[in-house]
Structure 1
Amino acid sequence: MNFTATNTVIIQGITEPLGACYAPLMQAYGTTVVAGISSGNGGRSLAGIPVFDMVEQALSSVGAIDTSVIFSPPYAALDAALEAIAAGVRTIILVSQGVPPLDMVHLIRKAEATETLIVGPNSPGIIVPHQLLLGIHPPELYKPGSVGILSRNGTLTYEVAWSLSQAGIGQSIAVSIGDDAIVGSTLPQWLQMLDEDDQTDAIVLVGEIGGDSEELAAHYIAEAIDKPVIAYIAGRSAPRGRRMGHAGAIIESQATDFGPDIGTAESKITALKRAGVPVAERPSEIPEIVRKLLKHPLKKVS
């Protein structure tokens, strides 16, 4: 895992409302934003960031690019991501919400073939406190430290970070994989990266109802993760059988290989506890659990 202030970053969709708002904020935070991409707006600049029509044109001007943050409209996100991959960009943050599922299937296949990391869609991105902002996290809620936050949610990521910061516990990184129905990278992928990260001593996993991501993560934690993991699951009081606000937070499961309760808060909490992961009932409980685990790490459940 290599997310530092030295990463060179482009912003695709820089003239979109969110892109125009967050590009200067990312730059002010210390992110090395070398170019923006917006078809038809080449030759302009935004907050001192040169704007190009195509990624290929930016490459010839600014050199190699590590990361692209995409603010393009959902139906243009696939083309933007494929253009970045073709230019050799190997980390892509999809802030765009509502990317068509078939577009995501196409993108994931291309990402797997090219070893490209996709975060999102419908994600606030990644933040390394006081070093790097890739997306729309509110930086004032974070402080540097050794706790990695891994989440499916956006605003809950901020709330957990703020609770930790208020308790004097800093964060090594915070990443939301996004909560559209189909996302690029998975909880187990990120658990492995955080487990191997020298700057991270403990992991806070923030999940929510819908799908089987947390159940799969619980199994992976029991099998492969050595660092302490703490979890919080949102949606305990949600009514059964009702679709919630997030596209990915759908209670009812279509998978025949799992029981009828898959996707519910109870299913996820049970799976995590079975893996030896303490589960907080509310975000405010997380800092104290983190303190206890860092003093007395739990043994991995076999």
Structure 2
Amino acid sequence: MPTDIDWFSLDGQTPVIVQGITGRMGQKHAQLMERYGTRIVGGTGRVRPEAPSAFPVFASCEEAVRATGARASICLVPASDTLAAVAEASAAGIGLIVTVAEGIPVHDALRIRALTRAAHVRWLGASTPGLCLPGRIKLGFLPDVALAAGRIGVISKSGTLSYEVGLRLIGHGLGQSAWIGVGGDPVKGTRFADLAAAFAAHEGTDALVLIGEIGGDEEEEFAEAWQRLGKPKPAFALIAGAEARQGVTMGHAGALVIGQRGSLASKRRQLESAGVRVLPTIGGLVDAVLAASRTTAEGQMP
């Protein structure tokens, strides 16, 4: 049965479980997410009498869903355990699964993608800092200092670059309608293009910021989707890796250039043809978003 969860339906009433909640990171981030406003209703993990959980701990996702009505899960388990965790959550009827572990094997990611698609489950990962609808819900470890409610959508491959962009925009009074990290893995559950229609249709989003990198073809895919949607609202992009030398191994597993597709020139050309302004620096990006925001506030077309 298709999930009824869409990105902008998430809020502080959405019941969330943490898989791996009794581990050190599970305990820490469950408390931080709850403090932010996320409704953590419990989790799964090995019961540890020496370190009792502040949340209900269930033997399985099925038991957790039955007891709490959980609709979303964040997996705070090692990379080697992520496939099993996602399979369990998916079978239990969880509609949104976020996975954060670095280094999930590609063959595991392929299996996760297949099983979540078959179950009509939204999967954010393989590795992602998470997502946030500021002031409503946070799933992951995005820094609160870079988050504030507003009308700018942010989608990103890079955690740290997006934190910097968010922090600078907040300094000018511009917060986010939603922040969604797709991660830099070659195999993932949610790609930039998958988010285009949601942000285009969202009335609470005035403009969209895309933070990408050289390699892979997600930015080109997004440009094609944005073009088909009719260039619905102002969009801006920053592509990391402009100074990378050809043939040098990049840190992100998905940073592969095949032919010209995936290169900086290809991404810039296709994004700009779809009406997306590509800026060379964070400062330039922030200035462009500010200028568009002022124009929108004055009731003019950007």
Provide TM-score, normalisation by structure 2: 0.90
The match for 1:286 is 285
C-alpha distance in 1 between matches for 2:206 and 2:261: 30
**2:65 alignment partner, one of 44, 47, 59:** 59
TM-superposed CA distance for 1:43, in Å, is: 12
* 1:19-69 deviation per Cα after TM superposition (whole angstroms, max 9, x unaligned): 2221110011110000121145599742x211222112222332x111100
The letter for the 2-side match of 1:263 is: G
* 1:78-105 deviation per Cα after TM superposition (whole angstroms, max 9, x unaligned): 1101111111101011111111212222
The match for 1:12 is 19
Three-state SS of the structure 2 residue aligned to 1:278 is strand
The match for 1:256 is none
C-alpha distance in 1 between matches for 2:272 and 2:67: 52
Question: CA, structure 1 residues 297+125, in 2 after alignment: closer, same or farther (shift >3 Å)?
Answer: farther
C-alpha distance in 1 between matches for 2:217 and 2:108: 21
The letter for the 1-side match of 2:20 is: G
The match for 1:171 is 176
TM-superposed CA distance for 1:110, in Å, is: 1.8
The match for 1:74 is 79
**1:246 alignment partner, one of 232, 248, 252:** 252
The match for 1:116 is 121
Question: CA, structure 1 residues 31+43, in 2 after alignment: closer, same or farther (shift >3 Å)?
Answer: farther
Q: Is the 8 A contact 1:95 1:124 kept in 2?
A: yes
C-alpha distance in 2 between matches for 1:91 and 1:42: 30
Q: Is the 8 A contact 2:47 2:57 kept in 1?
A: no
The letter for the 2-side match of 1:30 is: G
Q: Percent identity?
A: 33
Question: CA, structure 1 residues 159+191, in 2 after alignment: closer, same or farther (shift >3 Å)?
Answer: same
Count of residue correspondences = 289
Provide TM-score, normalisation by structure 1: 0.90
TM-superposed CA distance for 1:184, in Å, is: 0.7
Q: Which runs of 5+ in 1 are unaligned?
A: 254-259
Three-state SS of the structure 1 residue aligned to 2:74 is strand
Three-state SS of the structure 1 residue aligned to 2:56 is strand
Three-state SS of the structure 2 residue aligned to 1:204 is strand
Question: CA, structure 1 residues 84+51, in 2 after alignment: closer, same or farther (shift >3 Å)?
Answer: same
**2:39 alignment partner, one of 10, 23, 32:** 32
Is 1:235 aligned with 2:241? yes
1:213-232 matches, within 5 Å, as 213-224=218-229, 225-232=231-238
Three-state SS of the structure 2 residue aligned to 1:172 is strand
Q: Is the 8 A contact 1:126 1:133 kept in 2?
A: yes
C-alpha distance in 2 between matches for 1:100 and 1:65: 27
Is 1:159 aligned with 2:158? no
* 1:131-175 deviation per Cα after TM superposition (whole angstroms, max 9, x unaligned): 211001001211110101001111111111111111111111101
The match for 1:194 is 199
**2:212 alignment partner, one of 207, 215, 221:** 207
- State the superposition RMSD in angstroms: 1.8
The letter for the 1-side match of 2:215 is: G
The letter for the 1-side match of 2:143 is: P
The match for 1:86 is 91
The match for 1:273 is 272
Structure 1: which 4+ aligned runs deviate by more than 6 Å?
Answer: none
The letter for the 2-side match of 1:200 is: T
